[in-house]
Structure 1
């Protein structure tokens, strides 16, 4: 994008400072930032030399933020379908990962995932996986913003030998990218059932010292809670709280099985929830109480989880399902209205990652992470409320343009950068090799 450019869609949903839809307005982008949001005629008069991009029939929204995924697992899409979580993990996923996980596996899988997410309007994703340096590189290659979990787990892997080794390698990676505005980090203990008290205490201390979010799976299944009560005499959230992990920095992933005490604890602490409805439904883990979370003012963002349990990295689909489940389970049609859903996809997820001062809304001073969705298609006509149309009717195929940090990275559903496009093209061949290797492992 030139130093100054004007994006002129038919509608703009800025998300903040208030939920509204503007028409006849445009966005001035300068040096990667949103410089102005104002009526189009006024912007053209003040900035006659700025390049104009007309977007008739399009809704411009902030870039979507995927609050929880395992990007590299795109190479495992479809290998463990129709299994409950513990069977899915212990009988299929963990054995496969033990034989497959390597830097090349993570890089190829993350690149596939980043491409899929980017074309669906996701401009930032929060990842948790082994060899995170490879996922960092994949995101940067496609021009995406990303947050990466400093993963912590007690058992050894090809990536690290023990909890201390995981932490050391993750913190070293963070130090290497500290000056890169496109990359951020979270502390990511895998789950209470795979991480010891001693390690969790260390994570809590590091989170406070370094100002990092804590990103962890919690209360995903009823069995997880029963096991925690048997082993520790506490529900998982209660145990995390006693160890110092429940606070405004916590991103509680899944948070399906919550009683009123759990809900009150999350609300009082200022914690966030990464709601992954499709993964939870597919694994028969349950349905998170999203309507009650909203009632209590608990911040919620949406996550896709990984492709092995979803099987799409499609945040628009995730958001629509989340809204419908909230209405259906609460018996309230006004639960999670469309504007609230868009806020969860953007500003609230950014806030959970500590990035809401930079992304998540179309406000002057923020980075220009933007998505233009074409609502002019016959199947989306007529348009009475553009945000409603986005949430309840549109699909990722209607995402036409994506900008990240002011750079036009997707134009008319095609990658703009030739090097990125070439990398994705080469990846198709390599994914066939991974497919053959995985089939051999499954049949052997």
Structure 2
């Protein structure tokens, strides 16, 4: 990319009112297309979709009644896709910091188990707001362990305008109670049917980990998703403890277990896959199974880093996920590239580790493919949903500019996101909703969070960082 004076002066500041029109012909400084960033292009947004994408002069000629809205100094790019999230864990957040792996057993399951329908809704709405603020227009929720039918999560998605792949957990093993498997399957079928034609909510089924499902249930749920074109989610090969449990109980690793149960395939989305063997990589490749690569989760609580670069080279479908750690898409891309560099690139002398363009792809179109939403979203293309961001490029960090994809991965941050659109509607302007009170939600969460956490049987191994033993803090010298 040539470094040049890119940003023509604009006497009229961009306003949310301008972006709220039912038909928009947007002419940004740069448009991020699948082949990379281009200049002198425009998009026509109407009825929730990109009605046309092409050179500005061409579109201006085709639609003479529409005045192009110039976006000097701005990038129009696809919204990011979070391929793995837990929307109902947002009330806990930093409780998991510094804790040993498998925190779901001691923190997330106890917390979610204490949430009533109202708290599920508030937790999901807070997480959805965070996601949109971080540039995510689509989030894949792995399913909550809270009681209910997930309608409260769907309501939060609709009210915030976040596109949501909504998981429903179908575990039939792991508890002390007798399980009615026919009731689980009836609930699963109803979930798929209820959201089949929804504009924002895309139904999905999940089994938390392979060991939480019988082989019969794994195969049946995989079949339901295969037939309906939906995603079947599970966590596999994430922690050493879970891999060893699988080996002890079945003499199979978790991904081998999934293959034995006939659950692998294009419908399957495996979260994490960090502790993975060459044989298991071949199982993923040959079956068409997708993976959510969650680098921040590896950093904060994991045992290893998924070989995402190798997966991409093998043709395995890979998206990037937060795992509910932090909803900041630019920092997620940076973490994705950095983790690959530390875990694999340095020892191999690989100085590019896929380059910026790979991580941009995995965070957008790659995620859409992993979630089986490729025909709907993930890129700027005619006919696809108008899920996009308007990003300010006129900042010191991107000046001068020599390689925009790399710069977006390593320099950009969410403070540069001026506008977030989902399905053609402006959902956030400069970090806050345009049609509901986000700050009121934050205040309500602050008021209720302490009581919720205090009432949950959470077990933390370490206390707050301020309570860290003094003899472990040599940097603090007594006066």
Aligned-pair CA distance for 1:96: 3.0
* Aligned equivalent of 1:57, options 57, 63, 73: 73
What does residue 43 of structure 2 align with? 27
Q: Which of residues 273, 278, 287 is equivalent to 1:255? A: 273
Cα distance in 2 for residues equivalent to 1:182 and 1:279: 26
Residues 133 and 414 in structure 2, CA contact (< 8 A), matched pair in contact too: yes
Equivalent in the alignment of 2:189: 171
Matches within 5 A, 1:302-341: 302-306=320-324, 310=325, 312-331=326-345, 332-341=350-359
Q: For the residues of structure 2 that align with 1:133 and 1:161, how far apart are their CA atoms?
A: 22
> Under a length normalisation based on structure 2, what TM-score does the superposition of the two structures give?
0.85
Question: Which residue, 213, 223, 242 being the options, matches 1:224?
Answer: 242
Distance 2:25 2:191 in 1: 37
Using the TM superposition, give the Cα deviation of residue 346 of structure 1 relative to its aligned residue in structure 2, in angstroms: 1.0
Change (3 A) 1:84 1:275: same
Partner of 2:8: none
Residues 180-189 or 269-278, more deviating? 180-189
Pick one of 25, 42, 53 that aligns with 1:6. 25
**d(CA) in 2 for partners of 1:109, 1:357:** 30
Q: What SS does the corresponding residue of 1:173 show, helix, strand or coil?
A: helix
| Counterpart position of 1:439 | 454
Q: What corresponds to 1:38 in structure 2?
A: 54
Instruction: Work out the CA distance in 2 between the residues paired with 1:297 and 1:443.
Output: 40
- The answer on 1:75 being equivalent to 2:91 is yes
Distance 1:443 1:334 in 2: 42
In structure 1, what is the Cα distance between the partners aligned to 2:391 and 2:92?
A: 29
Distance 1:443 1:294 in 2: 38
Quick one: distance in 2 between partners of 1:426 and 1:227?
A: 41
Q: How many residues are treated as equivalent by the alignment? A: 430
Residue among 107, 124, 131 paired with 1:92: 107
Secondary structure at the residue paired with 1:216?
Answer: strand
Matched with 2:224 is 206
Cα contact 1:323–1:341 (8 A) shared by 2? yes
C-alpha distance in 2 between matches for 1:299 and 1:345: 12
Whether the aligned pair in 1 keeps the contact of 2:87 and 2:128 (CA below 8 Å) is: yes
- Give the aligned CA root-mean-square deviation in angstroms: 2.2
Q: Does 1:185 find its partner at 2:203?
A: yes
Could you say what secondary structure the match of 1:239 adopts?
helix
Conservation of the 8 A alpha-carbon contact between 1:4 and 1:51: no
What is aligned with 2:443? 428
Distance 1:364 1:95 in 2: 45
Deviation at 1:67, TM superposition (A): 0.5
Q: Which residue is 1:111 aligned to?
A: 125
